[in-house]
A and B are shown apart, each in its own frame.
Chain A
Amino acid sequence: MNTTTQRSIIRALPWTVGLVLLVGAPFVLGLTGIRGLMQVFVLAVAVMSLNLLTGFNGQPSIGHSAFIGLGAYATALAVQNYGWSYWSALPIAVLIAGVVGAVAGVPALRIRGMNLALVTMALALVFPQVPVRLTEWTGGTAGLTVDERLRAPAALGVADVAWQYWVLLGIAALAFLLIRNVVHSSMGRAMIAIRDQHVAAHTVGINVRAVKVTVFAGSAAIAGVAGWMFTVTNQFVSPGDFTVLVSINLLLGMAVGGSGTLVGPLMGALFLYYVPEVLPKLGVNPQLTPAVYGVLLILLAFFLPGGLSGGLRSLVRRLSGITAKKGVTTPQPTLDTT
């Protein structure tokens, strides 16, 4: 066995083990544990979608809660008010979020950097008012309960929750593979070029406008998938679930995990779900959870600028004796500002 295959086996090993453990989780964990992991998958896809736009393409968004909300509401309304199945609602959720994302991406051609962060934040602030404005249809602030659940195919003979879990796991894995392939394609190189050298990207012949709008739409569409997953998990939507705080938390999750990396969003999602669960058990007043978030984040940004995944990578390197070449540092993702 040559060293290349050996190395690729070593690299694939943790992934395989992790996937097997996740697939097998319903046989081991109780209902609460499974439901928790489902929430993690929703968060993971949400952070992935944000990371595609912000981490890889340098377009900041504090508005992803709105895209997730669109997907979630589209699903809930289609299933509850119009009697569609969850599966037929999925393309609608993706389409609506994607189209709104494309529309939002057009002004983003002119508005960049901090200004874009501001516009998307305003979008996130306005979104929760829309269902309230349409109370007769959406249930308003009281929310909308979806009576139907995503049911397991009868032939499988498994509990619905287990089936929902596997579906969500599968979708999260697909989203991960999709983003990985995009990032490694010529499209991905164009995205990163635009992020790092906006004007230069123009001069080397990248169609900056097309790439940016496409990425915005794609990112919003994936956020719409996260919204679909949200409704499958909770069978309930309300404006309070899609506030600007959700967007801010997603950004924090992305930064903590490591923005512009593939694994970062997974770690960010674990962080976002389990830290608030664990803190009260450590005796921290739940009121202080956001403060702990904030402080941890600032410390991480300072000591581990590559996020947890960056830190993990350098740790693995150090342990496996592979030293990083001196003088060469991985460029940190930045905003497309100037």
Chain B
Amino acid sequence: MELLIQRLIDGTSNGFLYGAVALALVLIYRSTGLMNFAQGEMAMFSTFVVWKLADERLGFGLALAIAIPAGIVFAFLLGAVLERAVIRPFSGGNPLTLLIVTLGMFLAINALAGYIFTTDTERLDSPFPSGGLSLGGVTITYLEMGTVVVLLVVALLIRQLFMGTKLGLGLRAAAMNPSSSRLAGIDVGRMMMIGWGLASAIGAIAAILVAPVVYVSTNMMAALLLYGFAAAVVGGFDSPFGALVGGVLVGLIQSLASGYLPFIGTQLQLATAFAVILLVLLIRPQGLFGRLPVERV
């Protein structure tokens, strides 16, 4: 019983991280109709910025309270700049080109991070106290608790932004119907930049929260990205709320499958993500909370 509860806790806290990556993917999908395969690398790069600012031996030794917000601001700017400089020239163009451009970004950002920072594995302190609470045989760390709280707050803020502010209205309008929005006086280009900036910042938050567990390295997000995609697929690619729920579901599936299905065991965890993506897309392509697009000639 304790073991089961421990697995549920493990799965949920991992799931929130997948959900955060998914949230970033969903924001970009909503604003540009694009699956951003470079999302994980943008988050990794921003986490390296935090590490560089904070590390005492190889960096500037700033407090995390400064380094983390600075890294998130950097991530926002990075997303906005990439949208303007790299994605915009191809906007409205052909999706194959855009797909390949994001893959190009993936390669370039990964190589540059290794070149500029390091290809070593580096440690980034947790923003929360180390250790955790133990009840019987079950342990929940402060990092796990903090991760869940931070991501819930971020999700609520995003919801508030989209539903309760004029900027949010503009973002939604620009994403849904760019040409009508332009007629209505909305600066669609600016909205796209903000959308990318937000997505990049959220991806960075997820990466900073996961860094104390997976450490900071150029391939820290490689495996996480697939789980993020799986979460986005489960939740529905146009639903921010669904992204978090999808993340938790994927985290639980992974944790329980590795604990109780001997064949899948721990050896085919990626295959579990693959199976989830495939099944959901086949049975319910819009995901749990998404809307099905209408086909037009």
User: Is there a direct interface between A and B, measured as CB atoms under 8 Å apart in the complex?
Assistant: yes
Chain B residues positioned under 8 Å from A248 (CB to CB)? 103, 106-107
* Min CB–CB distance A187 → chain B (angstroms): 21
Instruction: Say yes or no for B121: interface residue by CB 8 A criterion.
Output: no
Whole-angstrom CA separation of A287 from B86 in the bound complex: 22
Is there a chain B Cβ closer than 8 Å to A302's Cβ? yes
Are the CB atoms of B271 and A126 closer together than 8 Å?
yes
Instruction: Tell me whether A182 is interfacial, beta carbon within 8 Å.
Output: no
The proximity string for A residues 290-307 relative to B, scoring 1 for CB distances below 8 Å and 0 otherwise, is 110111011001100100
Q: Which residues of B contact A332 (CB under 8 A)?
A: 93-94, 97
Measured between alpha carbons, how far is A297 from B98 in the docked complex, in Å?
11
Which residues does chain A contribute within 8 Å of B37, judged by CB atoms?
117, 121
Nearest residue, chain B, Cβ from A203: B297
In the complex with contacts A288-B115, A332-B94, A338-B296, A293-B226 CB distance below 8 A: no
Q: Are A199 and B95 in contact (CB under 8 A)?
A: no
| Contact B107–A111 (Cβ < 8 Å) | no
Query: Which chain B residues lie closer than 8 Å to A298 at the CB level?
Result: 86, 101, 104-105, 108
Question: What are the residues of chain A within 8 A of B104 when measuring CB–CB?
Answer: 252, 293-295, 297-298, 301
* CB pair B297 A114 closer than 8 Å: no
A337 at the interface (CB under 8 A from B): yes
Q: Which of B86, B103, B112, B285 has most A Cβ within 10 Å?
A: B103
Q: Is the CB of A252 within 8 A of B100?
A: yes
Contacts of A111 in B (CB 8 A): 278, 281-282, 285
Q: How many angstroms between the C-alpha atoms of A156 and B119 in the bound complex?
A: 51
Min C-beta distance of B284 to chain A, whole Å: 11
Asked if A58 is at the interface of the complex by the 8 Å CB criterion, the answer is yes
B281 cross-chain contacts in A, Cβ below 8 A: 107, 110-111, 115, 119
Check: B34 CB closer than 8 A to any chain A CB.
yes
Q: Hey, which chain B residues are within 8 Å of A203, CB to CB?
A: 297
Q: Which residues of A contact B111 (CB under 8 A)?
A: 287-291, 294
Q: Say whether, besides A298-B101, A332-B97, A129 and B106 are in contact (CB < 8 Å).
A: no
Within 8 A of B (CB), among A243-262: 248, 251-252, 255, 259
Chain A residues within 8 Å of B268, by CB: 126, 129, 133
Tell whether, in the assembled complex, residue B296 and residue A60 are in contact, meaning their CB atoms are under 8 Å apart.
no
Binary per-residue interface labels of chain B (140-171) against chain A in the complex, 1 for a CB within 8 Å, 0 otherwise: 00000000000000000000000000000000
Which chain A residues lie closer than 8 Å to B297 at the CB level?
A: 197, 199-200, 203
In the complex, A289→B108 CA distance in Å? 9
Residues A60 and B96 in contact in the complex (CB < 8 Å), given A119-B278, A248-B106, A291-B112: yes
Give the complex CA separation of A295 and B281 in angstroms.
33
CB-based contact A115/B285 at 8 Å? yes
Q: Which of B111, B271, B293 has the most CB of A within 10 A?
A: B111
Prevailing SS type, chain B contact patch = helix
CB of A125 within 8 Å of the partner chain:
yes
Q: Are A305 and B97 in contact (CB under 8 A)?
A: yes
Chain B min CB distance to A196 (Å): 10
The answer to whether the Cβ of A113 comes within 8 Å of any Cβ in the partner chain is: yes
Q: Determine the residue in chain A with the shortest Cβ distance to B114.
A: A287
Q: What number of A residues sit within 8 Å (CB to CB) of B?
A: 49
One of B95, B107, B285 near A294 (C-beta < 8 A): B107
Identify the closest chain A residue to B274 (Cβ).
Answer: A122
Chain A nearest Cβ from B251, distance in angstroms: 17
Asked if B221 lies at the interface with its beta carbon under 8 angstroms from chain A, I say no
How far, in whole Å, are A281 and B95 apart by their CA atoms in the complex? 35
Q: Is the CB of A54 within 8 A of B96?
A: yes
B89 within 8 A of A: yes
> Which of A114, A126, A287, A291 makes the CB contact (< 8 A) with B274?
A126
Contacting residues, chain A, for B278 (C-beta < 8 A): 107, 111, 119, 122
Q: Could you say which residues of chain A place their CB within 8 Å of the CB of B99?
A: 60, 114, 117, 251, 335
Bound complex: CA A338 to CA B293 (Å): 8
Report chain B residues within 8 Å CB of A175: none
Q: Does A105 lie at the interface of the complex (its beta carbon under 8 Å from any beta carbon of B)?
A: no
Does A93 sit within 8 A of B, measured CB to CB? no
Q: How far apart are the CA atoms of A298 and B104 in the complex, in Å?
A: 7
Min CB distance, B196 to chain A, in Å?
16
* Cβ-defined contact, B95 with A251, below 8 A: no
Residue B295 at the chain A interface, CB threshold 8 Å: yes
Task: Chain A residues near B100: list those with CB within 8 A.
Answer: 251-252, 255, 297, 301
Which of B86, B107, B271, B274 has its CB near the most chain A CB atoms (within 10 A)? B107
| CA A58 to CA B96, docked complex, whole Å | 8
Contact between A294 and B94 (Cβ–Cβ < 8 Å)? Answer: no
Nearest CB of chain A from residue B243's CB, rounded to whole Å: 15
Judged by a CB distance under 8 angstroms, whether A118 is at the interface is yes
Q: Which of A119, A199, A259 has the most chain B CB within a 10 Å cutoff?
A: A119
B270 on the interface (CB 8 Å rule)? yes
For A140-167 the 0/1 string (1 means CB < 8 A from B) is 0000000000000000000000000000
| Closest partner residue, chain A, to B94 (CB atom) | A334
State the CA gap A302–B230 with chains docked (Å): 31
In the bound complex, do residue B277 and residue A334 qualify as a contact, i.e. CB atoms below 8 Å apart?
no
**B90 CB-CB contact with A under 8 Å:** yes
B282 CB contacts on chain A under 8 angstroms: 107, 110-111
* Residues of A with C-beta under 8 A to B86: 298
Instruction: List 14 additional contacts besides A118-B35, A129-B271; criterion CB under 8 Å.
Output: A111-B281, A122-B277, A125-B274, A200-B297, A203-B297, A252-B100, A293-B108, A298-B101, A298-B105, A301-B100, A333-B96, A334-B95, A335-B96, A335-B99
8 contacts between A and B (CB under 8 A): A110-B281, A115-B285, A129-B270, A290-B108, A294-B108, A295-B104, A297-B101, A301-B90
Q: Sort A-B residue pairs by CB-CB distance and give the 10 closest, nearest first.
A: A294-B108, A291-B111, A334-B94, A290-B111, A297-B104, A294-B104, A290-B107, A122-B274, A294-B107, A335-B95
